[in-house]
């Protein structure tokens, strides 16, 4: 296993277009997170999954954002009708165990997908 993979690494799009990012977590990890990071800021929580169930979605996330993890393995994050404010690095992370297990603290991050909206 080579860690968490994200694709594409960089996406340039025009305002109003839809984009989709894919994340392949570490295979035995049951929890998957999406974060957004802008320059000089820490990762901002977007949503997370326990297996295929989406357990929480940030209140800051508009309806233009949707995430899926259909079979509890890979996940996709789609942004519809992109805006310039969506330009950021989108980070995916996975972890083993949920609940009170200490493994839930050990997030393994991918290298991120950088979105530029023109």
Would you list the DSSP string of 87-98? Answer: -EEEEEEEES--
67 touches 19 (CB < 8 A)? no
Rounded to 5°, the CA angle 79-82-83 comes to: 135
**Which one, 18 or 41, has the nearer CB to another protein?**
41
**Which one, 112 or 117, has the nearer CB to another protein?**
112
Residues 7-66 that bind another protein (CB under 8 A): 33, 35, 40-45, 48, 50, 55-56
**Which one, 21 or 35, has the nearer CB to another protein?**
35
Phi and psi torsions of 36, nearest 5°: -120, 135
Binding positions for another protein, rule: CB under 8 A: 4, 33, 35, 40-45, 48, 50, 55-56, 91, 93, 98-100, 102, 104-112
């Amino acid at each position: 296993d080579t860690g968490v993979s994200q694709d594409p690494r960089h996406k340039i799009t025009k305002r109003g277009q839809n984009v989709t990012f894919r994340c392949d977590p570490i295979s035995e990890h049951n929890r998957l997170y999406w974060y957004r990071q802008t320059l000089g800021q820490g990762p901002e929580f977007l949503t997370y999954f326990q297996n295929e169930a989406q357990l929480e979605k940030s209140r800051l996330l508009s309806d233009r954002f949707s995430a899926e993890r259909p079979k509890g393995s890979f996940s996709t994050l789609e942004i519809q009708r992109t805006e310039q404010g969506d330009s950021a690095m989108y980070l995916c992370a996975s972890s083993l165990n949920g609940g009170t297990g200490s493994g839930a603290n050990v997030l393994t991050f991918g290298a991120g997908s950088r979105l530029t909206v023109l």
